[in-house]
Amino acid sequence: MRDGGRVSAAIEVLTEIEARHFPVKMALKRWGEASRYAGSKDRAFVSGLVLDALRRKRSLGFMMGDTSARAVVLGVLSQVWAWPVDRIAQMAGEEHGPGALAEVEHKALSAPASLDDAPAPVAGDYPDWLESSLVRAFGDGVRVEMVALSQRAPVDLRINTLKTDVERGARAVALIGAEPAGVLANAFRIPAPQAADRTPSVEAVPAFTKGWFEVQDLGSQIAAALAGDIKGKQVLDFCAGGGGKTLALAAAMGNSGQIFAHDSDARRLADTIRRGQRAGVRNLQIRSPIEAEPLKGLEGRLDLVFVDAPCTGAGTWRRHPDAKWRLSPDQLAKRQIEQDSVLTDAADFVRPGGRLIYVTCSLLVEENEDRIAAFLARHPGFAVRPISLEAVSGHVTDQGYLRLTPHTAGTDGFFAAVLERTIH
């Protein structure tokens, strides 16, 4: 495909997302199935253009003076991909291209409106209704935080020390451009790709098949590292999902003790089993909700209960930019109810002196500090244990919680609180 056809395809996909409220993955899949002629480079180009448009659609629409899918895509080419106006004009006029530039488009591309006087939600690319929530989290820093959350994200890897050592793992991932992330010894990073480039195929690396490393955002790795020394301990991953943090915890345990993986959705646990086998985990028990009482017998016995709570995912908008436009006040309220319920249920399994770690990939105080405050009010037998991981000491809040953001830490947005059960 020529550039004109690729750009037209991106406009088509973005229009379908906005008109039918499809998740971006579904819309791209539908386009791919209907466009068998498109090669891998074409798909990478279209996908990258659509995702960049979703990351910055409000600011680019403002700069272009037009919020249509066409205008935003043209804005990406100019402001994000740094295409000269002449190149954009030539592309637009190609056969199968989006059509010749109008005079107003040419003018907007040549001299886009400045964002200096744009409202914060426009400059920061987020819905208006989230303004008060984000100000609670970041105060005057909202704009810079949200601009960082509108950029492309790197690919982070965790060397699996159950299968190899960090030195050998480092040599293996260097083949796909990964370098030390600089926070945790076994964390490595592939920088975000440029414009229409593809991220290296991680799954194609033989070391991945051997279980030497996993794809896991650095923020997620740090959250798991808050568990500290858990060798020989009894650990429950209460919301295990696909198993990313389960595997990180199991590696920290060195296959000693016992780690239990549970999730309210049995389908998610199927991937945990497969990934655990590849990673060489031998101390894992799956506690599926298919069973009548999957966690019976664990009440009050566990040294650590890890709760990666269901949340809005507001910290992952670099990777899932369509999610911020689909999020609604009702969905946020529903998540808070779920978080309160999960915390209450998980607390029953913590032994006296044991710890409960609460984690979300959200930036919102309503899902984080507010939920911990509500939990402590209901459970006076728990107390905050301030984060003590030296590597992230600069990201610990005055309340002793961990807050990571793309701007401050170069990770996805994460929140974590460590609670200790002080009495029965």
Per-residue DSSP letter, 116: T
Q: CB burial class (10 A; 0-12, 13-18, 19+) of residue 103?
A: exposed
117 is an annotated ligand-binding site residue = no
Among 158, 141, 127, smallest CA distance to 314 is for 127
How many other CB atoms sit within 10 Å of the CB of residue 149? 26
311 given a catalytic annotation: no
Q: Is 116 annotated as a binding residue?
A: no
**285 close to 258: Cβ distance less than 8 angstroms:** yes
Q: Which of 361, 365, 392, 418 is catalytic?
A: 361
Helices and strands, counts by H and E, the chain: 19, 12
Give me the helix-helix angle, 85-92 and 103-110, nearest 10°. 150
Token code pair at residue 203: 């799954």
CB–CB of 217/317 below 8 Å?
A: no
**H or E element in which residue 420 lies:** strand 414-421
Tokens of 304: 């650590």
- Calculate the alpha carbon distances from 288 to 91, 247, 256, 268 in Å: 53, 17, 22, 10
Q: Which residues pair with 160 in a beta bridge?
A: none
The DSSP annotation for 295-344 comes to TTT-TTTEEEEEEE-----GGGTTT-THHHHH--HHHHHHHHHHHHHHHH
CB 309 within 8 A of CB 405: no
Separation of alpha carbons 218 and 184, rounded Å = 8
Q: How many whole angstroms separate alpha carbon 366 and alpha carbon 332? A: 8
Structure-token pair, residue 357: 């770690």
Give the span between the Cα atoms of 110 and 85, in whole angstroms: 7
Query: Which residues lie closer than 8 Å to 180 by C-beta, 6 or more apart?
Result: 170, 187, 188, 189
Q: Please state the residue numbers annotated as binding site.
A: 263, 308
Q: Cite the active site residues.
A: 361
Which residues line the annotated binding site for S-adenosyl-L-methionine?
263, 308
